[in-house]
Amino acid sequence: MERRTIGDCLRQPLLTSGHPSAPGRLDLELLLASVTGRNRGFVLAHPEYLLSYNESRLYHQLLERRLQGEPLAYILGYREFWGLTLKVTPAVLIPRPDTELLVEQALAHWPEQSRAVTVLELGTGSGAIALALASEHPEAQITASDLSTAALAVARQNAANLGLRVRFVHSDWFDAISGRFDLILSNPPYVAVDDPHLRDPALQHEPRMALQAGPRGLNAIARIIREAPDHLRPDGLLLLEHGHDQGAAVRQLLANKGYQNIQTLQDLGNSDRVTLGCWPGAERHTEDGALPKSWTSS
């Protein structure tokens, strides 16, 4: 095989354009960084660098996988989220930039407590959300669950790599969870089974259980909303990521169950993406002993 320079390889888009999974220039830069064992800065600064035979062969193999539609994060084996480098494998959903909104909102509503704040993340996958919160609040007691033991292994490794403290639990939603939390959050599966989005070639590589959730995509969300009150402290907060067209349904589910202060927030693309609700707690009274106004029927 003919040896090529980094500059030659970066001219590849001309050759692959028109291909259904044509990688962008950033993808090529990151692949080149990976095969040369350097960072992207090196790749950008050294178009004259001549790839070794091994590097060239590896580059071609990785590029071929990319052209077959495999997501770049799985090929590289990592993805950045909230400024953290996370290991990802096909056992976990690739963390999306939109999900940073969930982290942002958890931080914006972070409870003020004199003791350590307790947090539960359900369906943690790579651990992205729990680890992002742990990086911001190392003193918090954060628990993260997943039904997939393969995902939990990836999440545990991420925690170890980053030196962050999260307690990981194998659980089907709340089934193996005990205790109550100030904050519960989740990016559960929320795509409807017949949503054409599920046929998107990029999604074929990701775990179906992390994406698909019943006929309207609301099965997991409804279950979490139903069961969370048994695990929230009084005034505890539930935050959920959901589909762009599920905001009204999620608000309704929360309202029906008795959550309060319900609001939906939009992601960077201006789509409804996160809805939160506060669990008042059964015995809650206002300062003067009367039930909160919002509890009286109107």
- Measured over the CA atoms of residue 265, residue 254, residue 241 and residue 160, the dihedral's sign is positive
Cβ nearer to ligand GLN, comparing 118 with 187: 187
Q: Which residues bind ligand GLN (CB under 6 A)?
A: 96, 187, 189-191, 203, 211
Least separation in angstroms between residue 249's CB and ligand GLN is: 15
Cβ nearer to ligand GLN, comparing 49 with 190: 190
CB 145 within 8 A of CB 123: yes
Cβ nearer to ligand GLN, comparing 182 with 272: 272
CB 54 within 8 A of CB 46: no
Question: Helices marked H in the chain — which ranges?
Answer: 6-10, 12-16, 25-36, 40-45, 53-67, 72-76, 100-108, 128-136, 149-162, 219-227, 247-257
Least separation in angstroms between residue 139's CB and ligand GLN is: 28
Least separation in angstroms between residue 124's CB and ligand GLN is: 12
CB 176 within 8 A of CB 170: yes
Cβ nearer to ligand GLN, comparing 195 with 227: 195
Least separation in angstroms between residue 206's CB and ligand GLN is: 8
Structure tokens at 222: 């409804």
